[in-house]
Amino acid sequence: MEGKVIQLIYVRIKRLTDTAIIPTKGSAFAAGYDLYVDTTEDITVYPGEVVPFYTGLAMEIPDGYFGAIYSRSGIATKFGMRLPHCVGILDSDYRGNVGIPLRNDSDSPVTVKAHERVAQIVFQRCEAVGLYEADELTKTERGAGGFGSSGRT
């Protein structure tokens, strides 16, 4: 069986601070690159609180792609920390400091350590789409049924 040819995309990364850490992969086949907070001191996040953290990095994602920022499973399951909006979108034309808001869903304060890995970014293709208004839409069997209309399981 022959291996599949994988086409690489290249993302330019600029350090905005001397302490910023370039994203890393946890394993050779990991889908995402771990993102590190760019802080030199530990910061405590209290239950229900949302704190914006920054990576100290700017990225140049190629046109036709975006960066999807997800919570890391370890920090979510062990400490109850997650992105408050579930998935952050880093557009290809954004050149500012990559931010990571974190929400503490636990009942206890959680301390984010200096330079800790708190999220991951997955680079994904984004197809160009043209939207246009129409008077009618084609009919389907499902129609306007939503929110569980196709069954519970």
Residue 77, in any domain of the structure:
yes
pLDDT-based confidence at 1, cuts 50/70/90? low
- Check which CATH number belongs to the domain holding 95 and give it: 2.70.40.10
Query: Does position 152 have pLDDT exceeding 70, yes or no?
Result: no
Residues 6+ apart with CB under 8 A from 33: 23, 24, 25, 120, 121, 122
* Interval 11-38: pLDDT, tens: 999 999 999 999 999 999 999 999 999 9
pLDDT given for residue 89 in this prediction: 95
Give the structural domain span for 51. Answer: 12-125
d(CA 87, CA 68): 6
Average pLDDT, the chain: 93
Residue 108, in any domain of the structure:
yes
CA gyration radius for the chain? 19
pLDDT given for residue 2 in this prediction: 73
Residue 99, in any domain of the structure:
yes
Q: How many domains does the chain have?
A: 1
* Interval 94-123: pLDDT, tens: 999 999 999 999 999 999 999 999 999 999
Residue 89, in any domain of the structure:
yes
Q: What global pTM score does this model have?
A: 0.87
Residue 137, in any domain of the structure:
no
Structural contact between residues 100 and 68, judged by C-beta atoms closer than 8 angstroms: no
Residue 117, in any domain of the structure:
yes
Residue 1, in any domain of the structure:
no
C-alpha distances (whole Å) from 36 to each of 10, 69, 71, 85 are 20, 12, 12, 18
Helix (H, G, I), strand (E, B) or coil at 90: strand
